[in-house]
Structure 1
Amino acid sequence: MKTNLKSLLISTVWLSALISSGAGAQPIAKEPVATPDNAVMLTVFLKHDQSRPLSELRAQLAKQEFYKVFPPAGVEVVSWNITMGIGQVIVLRLPASRLSAVNLALENTAWGTYRTEFFPTYDFKEIAQAEQNKVRQAQ
């Protein structure tokens, strides 16, 4: 009797843990991942509103939850730099299907603090290095 009660208790605890962990639930759809076949790069200029002090701009970003929302899931930040006199220059790599998510994240959280500009880009580094190597080897 004691063994059956112990087995029942262990089974109940195990089943409860299994249910609470979500096992058997529908799988959650994962965000698309940037691959050579679907990736785009996007350079984003966030131009500062120079008529307002930085503390005011930061307060607005916090209120609009900029850093909570940007960049959206599935978007890789390649670089994020401050360019004096312009603002922030961010290069993103993302699956093309996430482009609207980037746009919405910025519209909802950056507008009012920044003027935005977007430029599709691509990584030219390997191509340039190959051309340099070809020219240098020919000398």
Structure 2
Amino acid sequence: MAQNAPAPNPTNTAAPVGDGTFLLTIFLKHDESKTLPQINQQLKEQGYFKAFPPPGVQVVSWYVMMGIGQVVTLRVPADKLREVNRAIESTAWGGYRTEFYPTYDYKAAAEQMREQNNK
């Protein structure tokens, strides 16, 4: 995880409605033609560890998915979307292939549905 990124808080990941933020899940897929030390060196040279995530963007979760790379979910203020995109384009490409997915927290709704349907 990036040094300046806040630790995930799994008990408080849902955003209040209308707070101007959204969740964004990013797949950072390893370039398998490179070793991990080569990837990390390239990311370092490109400034990735300093640029991502940009200030004002909260890390909700950051996992290693074996065989894929890393999966990061961010809480992004709407006006910071371009900064997130530019940080990835400028510093992560070459070490990672990327995919972006707008995301929402479904856990509470799923639990409620399970509870209602198990009665």
Of the two structures, which has the highest relative contact order with CA contacts closer than 8 Å and spacing of 6 or more?
2
Q: CA deviation at 1:90?
A: 0.6
Structure 2 gaps, min length 5: 1-14
Structure 1 gaps, min length 5: 1-33
Match 1:36 to one of 17, 21, 25:
17
* CA-atom RMSD in angstroms: 1.3
Structure with more of its chain in helix, by fraction: 1
Alpha-carbon distance in structure 2 between the residues aligned to 1:35 and 1:113: 35
Which runs of structure 1 show a deviation greater than 4 angstroms over 4 or more consecutive aligned residues? Answer: none
Structure with more of its chain in strand, by fraction: 2
Q: TM-score, normalised by structure 2?
A: 0.82
Contact 1:35 / 1:95 at 8 angstroms: preserved in 2?
Answer: no
Residue identity in the other structure for 1:76: Q
Q: Sequence identity, in percent?
A: 51
- String of CA shifts for 1:21-55, please: whole Å, max 9, x gaps: xxxxxxxxxxxxx7531111111011101011111
Alpha-carbon distance in structure 2 between the residues aligned to 1:59 and 1:122: 33
1:108 and 2:90 are equivalent in the alignment: yes
Match 1:125 to one of 87, 107, 113:
107
Counting matched residue pairs gives: 104
Residue identity in the other structure for 1:111: W
